[in-house]
Amino acid sequence: MSAISVKELSLYFGYGAAATQVLDDVNFTVAPGEAFGLVGESGSGKSTILRCIANLYGHWSGSIELDGRPVGRRPSREQGRRVQMVFQDPYGSLHPRHTVNTALSEPLRIHGIADVQDRVERMLVDVGLNPDFGPRYPHQLSGGQRQRVAIARALITEPGILLLDEPTSALDVSVQAEILNLLADLREQRDLTYILVSHDLGVVAHLCSRLAVMQAGRIVETMTTTSLMSGTATEPYTRTLIQASKGYDRALVDELARGAAA
């Protein structure tokens, strides 16, 4: 059984003559424990797919199943616990007047999970932060630390699926590498399934084993990361994307190599 199955997913914004089709017959599956990438130019619909899966939009057509269970049109608390999103900008996703402790304990209270303080402290350690960070506010943290808190908040209710929307693109290259390595470790330790949206093929290649290439709301090619790296993409659009991404990826690849050698 797939962890995530998306079939014939289509979505429009607007009505009548003003309607714009943003997703057009999108199909893909993600195996349990797999990390799957979504790449493509800005506006191609990558984030919108994540929002449909996370039930932030309800007006799509087609089918979405998580662990074999259909995603309903109305958000349910249980589904909200199973799937969590991490966004590009942790400043936007963390409440500026909530401490780290509050940000992490709130989801536990909502879902009626006990041992709040204990879980919060363990979660902070699991994302590489000292529990002393608990009383701090987002503005007292660095960009990388804020993204660690956002990841901790997403994982605290123990979801099986994490939807990552450009999770490292607001960060400096050296910090990007740290967060990518953290995400890779967490996936392994917790058997997580990921969908990662990124415009950076280096980021996708580092974290994912397969990916889909999107253009104007459609998937134009699904391939393994190995094929991506060995240059066997068949679609001209994918080849253009690889070409455009080459110089850009260099700094991150170097940083990841430095981390691996250390």
Ligand X SMILES: Nc1ncnc2c1ncn2[C@@H]1O[C@H](COP(=O)(O)OP(=O)(O)OP(=O)(O)O)[C@@H](O)[C@H]1O
Would you say 130 and 154 are in contact if contact means Cβ atoms under 8 Å apart?
A: no
Residue (105 or 198) nearer to ligand X, CB: 198
Residue (101 or 198) nearer to ligand X, CB: 198
Instruction: Find the shortest distance in angstroms from Cβ 18 to ligand X.
Output: 10
Would you say 57 and 72 are in contact if contact means Cβ atoms under 8 Å apart?
A: no
Residue (109 or 248) nearer to ligand X, CB: 248
Q: Which helix (H) or strand (E) holds 210?
A: strand 210-215
Strand, helix or coil at 192? coil
Q: Regarding beta strands 61-66 and 161-165, do their DSSP bridges make them parallel or antiparallel, or are they unpaired? A: unpaired
Q: Quote the Cα angle for 219-162-65, to 5°.
A: 60
Is residue 146 a contact point for ligand X (CB under 6 A)?
Answer: no
Is residue 248 a contact point for ligand X (CB under 6 A)?
Answer: no
Q: How many amino acids of this chain bind ligand X (CB under 6 A)? A: 11
Is residue 22 a contact point for ligand X (CB under 6 A)?
Answer: yes
* Among 41-49, 72-80, 204-212, 241-249, the segment contacting ligand X (CB under 6 A): 41-49
Q: What whole-number distance in Å separates Cα of residue 185 and Cα of residue 225?
A: 18
- Interacting residue with ligand X among 48, 145, 168, 245 (CB under 6 A): 48
- Interacting residue with ligand X among 43, 70, 135, 236 (CB under 6 A): 43
Instruction: State the burial class of residue 243 (Cβ atoms within 10 Å of its Cβ: 0-12, 13-18, 19+).
Output: exposed
Residue (45 or 107) nearer to ligand X, CB: 45
Please report, as ranges, the residues that interact with ligand X according to CB under 6 A: 13, 22, 40, 42-48, 199
